[in-house]
Chain A
Amino acid sequence: MKKPPLLLFSFVIIYLVFLYAPIMLLPIFAFNDSSIIAFPLSGFTVDWFVGLMGENTLHRALKNSLIIAITAAVISTCFGILTARAMARHNFLGKRPSFGLIMAPLFLPEIIIGVALLIVLIQLGISLNIWTVILGHILICTPFSVSILYSAFNNMDKSIEEASLDLGETRFGTFRRVIFPLVKPGVIASLLICFTISLDEFVIAFFLTGVEPTLPVYIWAQLRFPSKLPSIMALGFILLLLSLILLAIFEYYRRRSETLIGNQPS
């Protein structure tokens, strides 16, 4: 390995400090024994974590967010499988435009998606609840699912499928017993990513949620009250640990997926 120029290496280190600066503060203030979020620190406490246990609104918001995130992850991943499979294996009329439409939410400002959905729901007279948030989240999670699953479907050896069909397995049987096991790690990776994105999504939830807040909407409301900030830091720290665990599992399955389809994991 070549040695990098000193200037480049110092830049990389400073940039990493910049990237990590905000999240480094999270554990510091989550355990800091003061109701004011500022330096100097005053002492160690776990009170803020204990305090979270008694917050009923928080528990409700968490429950809503989990329902939304799980439903959105499952449906987006189903859409991801369908789209990735169609893109990888079939040539059909309108392939590119329909793919573009499904991937479009990735390139649109979230507020546009939120507002556009809100207008339709109001016009149709549908009242806002967690299902309306789920609809919005499926829309923004599907592109991520497609990009994870596309390479899994695309790099899979076509002859394995053909062999299975030639040996008398039905199409459905081939999917269940041959294709699905090969793309399973990709499916799990997609479920995890969609779950994490939905759990953290704020703007669309802010527009489409009714009286039942999601976790980010709850956090947003709490940010206005200075006295609530330390417990929000504690909550943020728990969420960070949770996402890191999910991310590690995701990375494991992504690598499995690459190995299964015969790529060198990168």
Chain B
Amino acid sequence: MSSIFRNINASLAGWRLIGTPFLFGFLLLVAPLFLMIALSFWTQDYLDLDRTPTLNNYRDIFSHPVYVLLIKRSVIISLIVTITTVLLAFPMAYYISFYGGRYKAIWLFLITIPFWTSYLLRIFLWKIILGYNGVVNSGLQSLNLIEEPLSFILYNANAVVIALAHAWAPFAILPIFVALERIDRSMLEAAKDLGDTAIRSFMRVTLPLAMPGIVSAALIVFIPTIGDYVTPRLVGGKDGLMVANMIQVQFSKANNAPLGAALAITSLLTVLLISLGFLFFNRRYLRKQSS
């Protein structure tokens, strides 16, 4: 009996602290998300909302090629961004962890500095770098490497990928670095002593042990990028627009909030499904490695 009371008392002590932030999060995140789900089943009737539940918004999304295309494109761009960012981040994190020595903190600091510039301006500056008269083109032209400015690097999906792979770099480097730091270096020596080549010990020891970091890096990049609004608008051109741009249009110019909500829900569910699938396959990979 007394242990139950102690549990209740301990619970109360914890809840006294966490109660307020929890309530705030509940009222401003959970409740709004539920309302958004409800709204996605309603219909906009000029200035009024028709609250009869209907699947029409979702039917609209899946019957109009433009919505399906935008969601598909957003998923594909986010996936490419995730793969690029993680592939580029891994060697950097590896270098800091294995060769950083006394300067690890300085290296990490060096990596985060560029990300304290205004996000809008960072993305906008890519426009200046990649543009028709931009840094890349005028540089290549003055070196006589190209005659005509390259046009495939701005106002399309490529530019979105470059700008996002840049914007999310530290979010990928840091978790991978943390995972690499946790690896017991004597395991690598053991692998070497037992005759594994450098590549084999990397594949069989380092990579599986770094996997938790790679997974969190991938998810931390993938989930938010699918809803990026600024980058597609600034550097994506017409063919690089993503679903967030369409959601914004529905809430403003198109004045169809229910459809916007349905679009938001559909993309969120798509992201969640892909992330869960990714986690599932990763668990199977790690199990296979350890057996």
Report A's interface with B, CB cutoff 8 A.
Answer: 1-4, 8-9, 11-12, 15-16, 18-23, 25-26, 29, 37-40, 79-80, 82-83, 85-87, 90-93, 95, 98-99, 101-102, 104-105, 107-113, 115-120, 122-123, 135-136, 138-139, 142, 196, 200, 202-203, 206-207, 216, 219-220, 223, 232-233, 236, 239-240, 243-244, 246-247, 251, 265-266
Contact = CB atoms under 8 A, between A and B. Distances in A.
Nearest to A88: B17
A11 B116 CA distance: 23
Contact of A38 (B11, B15, B133, B220): B133
Contacts of B257: 119, 122
Contacts of A102: 18, 21-22, 25
Contacts of B118: 200, 216, 219, 236, 239-240
Interface in B42-83: none
Contact of A107 (B22, B92, B219, B234): B219
Contacts of A87: 18
Interface residues of B, number: 82
Interface stretch (B99-107, B152-160, B203-211, B280-288): B99-107
B32 A120 contact: yes
Contacts of B267: 109
Contacts, number: 230
Given A22-B166, A266-B104, A119 B109 contact: no
A86 B18 contact: yes
Nearest to B12: A92
28 contacts: A8-B91, A8-B95, A8-B99, A11-B95, A15-B91, A23-B125, A26-B117, A38-B128, A82-B20, A82-B21, A86-B15, A87-B18, A90-B17, A95-B14, A109-B223, A110-B229, A111-B248, A112-B33, A112-B227, A112-B268, A115-B251, A119-B261, A123-B35, A139-B29, A200-B116, A216-B120, A240-B118, A247-B113
B137 to A, nearest CB: 9
A4 B24 CA distance: 49
Given A4-B99, A23-B117, A108-B268, 10 more contacts: A21-B166, A26-B121, A79-B21, A90-B14, A107-B219, A109-B226, A109-B227, A116-B36, A119-B32, A251-B109
B248 A244 contact: no
A19 to B, nearest CB: 5
B145 interface: no
Contact of B99 (A2, A21, A108, A202): A2
Contacts of B111: 19
Nearest to B139: A39
Centre residue among B21, B109, B122, B244 by max chain A CB count within 10 A: B21
B244 A104 contact: no
Contacts of A83: 17-18, 21
Interface in B242-274: 244, 247-248, 251, 257, 260-261, 264, 267-268, 271
Nearest to A98: B22
Contact of B220 (A107, A139, A196, A240): A107
B39 interface: yes
A37 B102 CA distance: 41
Contact of B121 (A12, A20, A138, A236): A236
Contacts of A136: 28
Contacts of B248: 111, 207
Contact of B230 (A8, A25, A90, A202): A202
A108 B36 CA distance: 14
B22 A101 contact: yes
A123 B219 CA distance: 32
B278 interface: no
A31 to B, nearest CB: 15
